[in-house]
Amino acid sequence: IDVLKTKGAQNISYVGLVGAPEGVRKIQESHPDVDIYLAALDEKLNENGYIVPGLGDCGDRLYGTK
């Protein structure tokens, strides 16, 4: 989002599949002008930063690193 804004973008929307409230809050605090669209909002992040309940570490799942 920061890079888009430095390049002059003005009407930015964030579109994601799954998110957590902590991530949504971070975007809203840093960029209150950005609209956020998610297919699903899970309950929270756990102490390891994994989305719960269920998705866990999205990067590990996508790239098979664990």
pLDDT at 58: 63
Specify the pLDDT at position 13: 98
Mean pLDDT of all residues belonging to the chain: 87
Any alpha helices (H) in 1-66, and if so which ranges?
Answer: 2-6, 21-30, 58-63
Q: What is the mean pLDDT of residues 11-17?
A: 96
d(CA 19, CA 43): 9
Q: What percent of the chain has pLDDT over 70?
A: 82
User: Once rounded to an integer, what is the mean pLDDT over residues 20-39?
Assistant: 96
Residue 52 has pLDDT above 90, yes or no: no
Percent of the chain with pLDDT over 90: 55
